[in-house]
């Protein structure tokens, strides 16, 4: 499906709000959210949440696997970052 630039802008704008909501979640809420919304995760998989200055990183591991199979990063708004001033 093709989107006009205005439709695309509003789609991206709503994603920013969703990311802001995700960043405010507790670790337990975030784990529940990721398990509910991500259809690639298996029941036996584990998710490691790492919080850092500019956002949150979720690392997905299969059971008994040392290497992660997926990583998701949720970044804070760059304009609010002190490093950009």
Q: Report helix, strand or coil for 77.
A: coil
Position 46 pLDDT exceeds 80: yes
Q: Is 44 exposed, middle or buried (0-12, 13-18, 19+ CB in 10 A)?
A: exposed
Position 73 pLDDT exceeds 50: yes
What are the two backbone dihedrals, phi and then psi, of residue 81, each rounded to the nearest 5 degrees? -80, 135
Q: How far apart are CA 15 and CA 17, in angstroms?
A: 5
Q: How far apart are CA 41 and CA 39, in angstroms?
A: 6
Domain locations in the chain as residue ranges: 27-84
Contact 74, 22 (CB under 8 A): yes
More confident site: 76 or 2: 76
Considering the chain, what percentage of its residues have pLDDT values greater than 90?
A: 47
């Amino acid at each position: 499906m093709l989107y006009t630039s205005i439709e695309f802008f509003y789609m991206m704008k709503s994603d920013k709000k969703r990311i802001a909501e995700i960043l405010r979640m507790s670790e337990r809420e975030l784990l529940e959210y990721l398990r509910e919304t991500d259809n690639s995760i298996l029941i036996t998989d584990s998710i490691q949440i790492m919080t850092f200055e500019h956002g949150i990183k979720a690392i997905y591991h299969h059971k008994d696997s040392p290497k992660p199979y997926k990583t998701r990063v949720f970044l804070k708004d760059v304009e609010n970052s002190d490093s950009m001033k």
